[in-house]
Amino acid sequence: MKLLVLFFVLTSSFDISFSQRYNALFNFGDSLSDTGNVVISSLPYGMTYFGRATGRASDGRLVIDFIAEGIGLPHLPPNTAKNVSFHRGVNFAFIAAPALPFEFYHERGLSKGLWVSRSCCLPSAARRKDFLSKSLVVFGEFGGNDYNTGIFGGLPVLEVRSTFVPRITQAIAEGVERLIGLGAVDLIVPSVLPVGCFPLYLTLYSSSNPEDYGPRSGCARKLNALSWYHNALLRRQRNRLRQKYPTADYHAQVFDFALKPLKYGFKDGALRTCCGAAGMGRYNFNLRAKCDQNGPSVCPDPTTHVSWDGIHMTEAAHRIIVHFDAWPLPEAVGLPLLPPSTAKGKNFRRGANFAYTAATALEFGFFDRRGLSGKLWVNSSLSSQVRSFEKMMPSLCSSTQVCKAYLSRSLFIVGEFGGNDYNTAIFASRSMAEVNSYVPKVMRAIKFGVQRLIGHGAIDIVVPGMLPIGCFPLYLTLYGSSNKNDYTDIGCLRNYNDFAAHHNSFLQRVIYGLQRKYSWTRIRYADYYSPTLRFASNPTKYGFTGGALKACCGAGGSGKYNVNLGKVCAKRGSSVCKDPSTYVSWDGSHLTETAYNLIADGWLRGPYAKPSIMQWS
């Protein structure tokens, strides 16, 4: 899941030497951070900032864009871009990328649920540590798509939790360790979002039992429990990598959106989508009126919504997660927005974005062996993204020594990975026990990926965790429950959030282990989970007057969460909220630019990354 964030900027008194700390930015992940590897070509996607669809799963910029701006690098180009320079960074993320390989899902009969087969595992490659040690690596969010594969595949949430989460968080940790092995020093590992607060999930998995929802947030308890579990395991992985690990929290912030939407300015709440099936159901979501279909309804102001399209957040939600002061973002670190690595005619010396929407941590074979290959949206794993980076390296630096120096001053963001791996099984109706079994594999893949980057010279690496998918309008729609105990007090699906928390806890243990092993690096866990939960808990506090559990883009007015698979964002019949900045969720499974902005600020300045990206010592 890729992933999603907006942030305000540092003050004008910012030290110029700080903005030049990183030579490049490298990102690995899924739709939370994909900037064009899997092109979403239809408006209203991209309406807020770019005025056109760019491939980003939000109404505007993502967390990775704000991070690039914050450190003075350009927007990352997708690694599949042609005639583009990747010297300033690249984005390997793919929409729907899982953390686990294709084989894992194929063995479980879930391969058909994978949108892509690109995962987070990394191959061997030459070492260019000097280059990577000066770069920032954002590793994730991974796990969300893995869990989605299982949930949408019909697996029980508990099976997804027990089978997927340990493997996914392990794969993430291994990916981080591989990047460290390549030379990465500064890494951010985001957590997963509280999918139980997503309009898509709230619509698809609605329940007549009020106990299945949080009384305060309205999120689906079981789904949020999955996210919580993922993030808990991710934290454990982080603790194994580093005792004093910088955490960036997607889950808590988005969850707080659901609890107190008005606190963040989300006057339209956190559980309704801005774009999609406006007025359809409780969450403005309908699968027959998706945001990217012709004729979608869009809310007047996306900034008042947390959810953009039922599964992604609005730019406003992303902005809060990053949470910068209201100064021009490039002043923070002096880098432009990252171009996607597949962009044509771009110079990547200032960074590149390899993220792909639906990218996984695990390889295609993992899902294929489990009968899930058909559920993959794209064949873009963490491993394949790192391979793309390694192929690009000769164009970035002339020798191993030069590369090490270059990469040591670059920032790497690896993830979020894991979400698409889990989604592949979840959406294929696999049991949560099976999904939970994926977690260790996902963690292993992430660990290997990070190690590979460290081997090349990366020093600064950021590894994002999963979001609290139990707060996603998509999950709330697909997996709603009639049992009120299945929901948290803010209305997120408890089981899915617990699973995400488990993934994140596992990932943090992996990161901790990597940090101890590679003591000269700076590997940060980036938390998607916490800020997203906070958005869901109190959306208005952050300006999300549209709420945190309704999608901005999708099936506005369709159900409780503005999610309807017949009206997905940018598709025919979908609608878009008037102001995405008032929503946390963009399309039911991704956040709005505003939400990403807040998350990015939390990563850059704290408290969602400890130490924060801006804190060097």
> What are the catalytic residues?
31, 309, 312
Biggest CA-to-CA distance, the chain: 62
Instruction: Give the DSSP H or E segment for 60.
Output: none
What is the token pair recorded at 295? 């004729």
What is the token pair recorded at 354? 């390899």
Task: Quote the Cα angle for 108-112-118, to 5°.
Answer: 90
Helical pair 530-537 and 250-259, crossing angle rounded to 10 deg: 0
Decide if 184 contacts 137 (C-beta within 8 A): yes
Decide if 275 contacts 437 (C-beta within 8 A): no
Spell out the SS3 assignment of 437-502: HCHHHHHHHHHHHHHHHHHCCCCEEEEEECCCECECHHHHHHCCCCCHHHECECCCEHHHHHHHHH
Q: Which of 141, 155, 56 is nearest to 105 (CA)?
A: 155
Task: Quote the Cα angle for 505-509-511, to 5°.
Answer: 115
Decide if 76 contacts 339 (C-beta within 8 A): yes
- 3-state SS, residue 580: coil
Helical pair 157-182 and 419-426, crossing angle rounded to 10 deg: 150
What gap in Å lies between CA 538 and CA 33, rounded to an integer?
Answer: 25
**Tokens 């991070």 -> residue:** 67
Q: Any residues with CB less than 8 A from the CB of 550 and at least 6 apart, and which?
A: 199, 202, 268, 269, 270, 271, 272, 273, 274, 282, 283, 284, 285, 305, 306, 307, 310, 473, 560, 561, 562, 583, 585
